[in-house]
Each structure stands twice: as C-alpha cells, then as structure tokens.
Amino acid sequence: MNNLSNHDYNVGCKAIYVFNRPERNLFQKLRKQGCQQTPHTKLIPGQYGLFYQPQGSLPKLEFRYLNCTCCWRSRIPVAGFETLNDTLSSSTTACDDNKSLDAYYTSEQRGVILQLLNNAAESELAAVKLLRGRKSVNIVEYRTRNGPFKNLESVTNVPLLKHKSAVIVFNSILNPPEKKEKRKVKIQLAKFIRPEVERTWLEEANSIVSIVCGVNKIAWAHMDRGMNVLEWKHEDCHNFLKGTYMASAYLDDISSVVSHLPTADFFVVEKTSISLQNTALYPVMAHMRTVEAMLFALLEPRYTQPDNTAPPKVLNMMRTAVGRHFGLMVGDSRTSGAQAMQQMMTESVTQKIPRVTFPHNLLVKYRNSFQMGGRSRGEELCDAMLQAVAFYELLSESS
C-alpha cells in the first residue's frame, strides 16, 4: 500500500481506498511482481485504486460519487464500470433535480395550477390530494405573507410542501379524481319485505292489512292504495304470557283474531328484532315468534290459489325499517310513534290533501289513545297504522 501513497485521496479524516474484486486481485498480482509494467499494459492511478487496462480496449469510465463515512459532506469520485449503453440512474436524477418544476409543465398547465393555488379557499385546497390538514393552511398563510405564487418552483417554499409532494399536488390539480355522486340512501323494498315479492305484485295490490302483535293484544289496520283507512281495530288475547305456555290456548286467541280480519291482497305482519344479549327478553321473543308463526299458518291457507306463480299473501315487514322511515330510531332501539300518529290524525282534519285519510268515527274513537304519558296508550294500534303507511310510502319511493 506504500506504493500508492502518491495517489491517496485524503478527505480530512483519513485516506480511503476502494477496490472492487478485479482491481483487488490485479493489485495483489502486481504487488507480487514488484509493480513492473509490461509493454502491453499500463498502470492507471484510478480515483480509488489501480486498473489493469490494455491501452485503447476500454471506453472512458463515467464517474459517480460516494459519501465519506467519516465526514458526510466530502465526496469521492468513483469510476463506474457500466457499459456505454447504460446510463447511471444517479446522473439522471441529479440532472432532473437541477431542473425547475416549471420545465415539466406547459404554460397552459402552469396557469391552471397557479390559478387554483393562488385563488382557492382553504376548503377547496383541502380537496386536492396531499393538501388536507396543515398543508392547505400553510399555502393560504404563505399567500397572505408573500403574495400569489409566481411560478411552480416557488410552491416548494411552503412549509411541508417539497419537490415530490408538490409534483403529486400539481398532477392532482391537472387530473382531479372523478367525483362520485352521493346517492340518497333509500330503503329498498326487498330489504324489509320477506319473503321477496316482485314489486309489480305489490303495486297492483288494492289494499293491505297491517298486523302488529303485543304482549296481550293484536292490532290491525286495513288501508287501500289511496292511503284511506278502511278499518282500524285491536283485540285482547287473554292467554298471551299467562302461566304455563299452552299452544292450544294461543291458537284459540289467534284464531279469534284471524276470523275478524277483513279480506285484503296482502297481510303484512310486523317482524320484531330483539337483542340476543338481553336474556331477560327471551320469553317475549319466544312469544312473538309463536304468534307470528300461527298468523302465517292461519292466514295463508284461506287465500291459497292454484296458480303457482302467485306471490304469498302473508308477508313480514321489519320493525326497524318502519322506525327509520318515521325517524323513530335511537341507535338500535325504536322509540314510540305516538307523536307521529297524532300528527297524521290532525292533518287528516286540517289539511286538504292529508298524508292519511281517517274516517271521522275512527278519529273520535281513538283521539285520546295516543296521549304522551297516558296509562292506556294504544301502542299496537299506533304501530299497525305506521306500518301500513310506511309500506305504501316506501313502495312509492322505490318505484
């Protein structure tokens, strides 16, 4: 190594020699031979070692830079061994880094970018990719202090907005993402009607009977397509949740109710959903499912038709769907619809074209049944009517 002292490159800390494998082998070989040159070769003091190079056989080597591990600011030129056909990526990058951002865009594109950056409000800037949060605030503050941006390169003076992020911002301005139209969320009929029935069958129905069962009574509302109330009643069921469960006792109560129901195109039975985590409600859930099953069994045979394509006459409607339609849901729980019921009954008298038309005798009969805080509130009557109204209104919306 003493023979190379004339070719040491001292960077202020220590001399650094870098040999790749061919040079190291050559150096060791020449050292054994006493570094004697042959007529066909010459020793070239490389930037970091010796090269065995037949004269005129190799192209001129390109240079790249390595940082000294001891003092990072010093750079040592290192000869590259790539062929002439390969271009060093570091050289290209260095060249591109020295190129102004304005050179990458046409005058028209620069105008579009600067127009938005100089005039857009903070909320508009936040819609651009990478400009949410602090960056959009920094742009507005920079404009206020220094005036509008004169060129694209000046944008990199904004805090948190450097070369790479600026390029992404510029490209996002020139090619904004397509805005997806926010569709109004509507409850599709198939979501809350079970089993599924073609909408045409439902639209052709002249009337429905909405049925809701409670812990000790069953209520129903008969309504036609014109939102006219034809019948609205409830019947007490004395055997519900009384002592030991007897299927025959349940059947007697439910059969009595079914015998009083009017004829209709569809019978819509409320489908309740009770949280399985509340074990105290298991008896109530079992009661509801029993009544629901018996209603399906007793109502369907009365209207069985030979046509196999005809839809079922007894349908389920989700209680939560009715609650969402009237804005009664609080989390997963549904609140009372008594206030909505009172409003519809009042509108039936005061408005020329009411939401629902009630016969006068029913208004008189049930005018005090939905008082808030009253002891004898007709929750089942209220729910049966709200379910009938929601059925027709949701059917109309889905059309």
Helix (H) or strand (E) holding 190: helix 189-192
pLDDT at 41: 44
CB-based contacts of 45: which residues, under 8 Å, 6+ apart? 4, 6, 7
Q: Please state the φ and ψ torsions of residue 296, each to the nearest 5 degrees.
A: -60, -45
Helix (H) or strand (E) holding 325: helix 319-325
CA distance 283 to 286: 5
Contact 281, 239 (CB under 8 A): no
Residue tagged 């590259």 (tokens):
80
CA distance 202 to 193: 11
CA distance 15 to 12: 8
Packed helices 107-119 and 163-174: angle between N→C axes, nearest 10 degrees: 100
Alpha helices in 102-180 (DSSP H): 107-119, 122-126, 134-146, 163-174
Contact 210, 387 (CB under 8 A): yes
Find how far residue 63's CA is from the centre of its chain.
52
First to last CA, the chain: 91
Q: How far is CA 362 from CA 237, 284, 357, 381, 389, in A?
A: 22, 30, 10, 12, 16
pLDDT tens, position by position, for the chain (399 residues)? 444 444 444 444 444 444 455 556 665 665 666 554 444 444 444 444 444 445 544 455 444 444 444 444 444 444 444 433 443 343 333 345 567 888 888 888 888 888 888 888 888 888 887 787 788 888 888 888 888 888 888 888 888 888 888 888 888 888 877 666 555 454 554 567 888 888 888 888 999 999 999 999 999 999 999 999 999 999 999 999 988 889 999 999 999 999 999 999 999 999 987 776 777 888 888 999 999 999 999 998 655 555 667 788 999 999 999 999 999 999 888 899 999 999 999 999 999 999 999 999 999 999 888 876 655 568 999 999 999 999 999 888 866
| The CATH number, out of the four listed (1.10.150.280, 1.20.1250.20, 2.60.40.10, 3.40.50.1370), of the domain defined by the range 101-174 | 1.10.150.280
Side chain identity, residue 189: L
| Overall residue count recorded for the chain in this entry | 399
Question: Residue 56: which region, alpha, beta or left (left: phi > 0; alpha: psi -120 to 50)?
Answer: left
Encoding tokens for residue 399? 């059309």
CA distance 314 to 20: 86
CA distance 373 to 298: 36
The CATH architecture of the domain made up of 189-398 is: 2-Layer Sandwich (3.30)
Domain limits, the chain: 2-97, 101-174, 189-398
pLDDT at 120: 83
Q: Please state the φ and ψ torsions of residue 57, each to the nearest 5 degrees.
A: -90, -25
CA distance 75 to 69: 10
CB-based contacts of 46: which residues, under 8 Å, 6+ apart? 23, 79
Find how far residue 92's CA is from the centre of its chain.
41
Q: Give the pairing of strands 314-318 and 266-271.
A: parallel
CB-based contacts of 173: which residues, under 8 Å, 6+ apart? 112, 113, 116, 117, 128
pLDDT at 92: 37
∠ CA 282-283-286, rounded to 5°: 85
Residue tagged 């079914």 (tokens):
258
Encoding tokens for residue 14? 């220590």
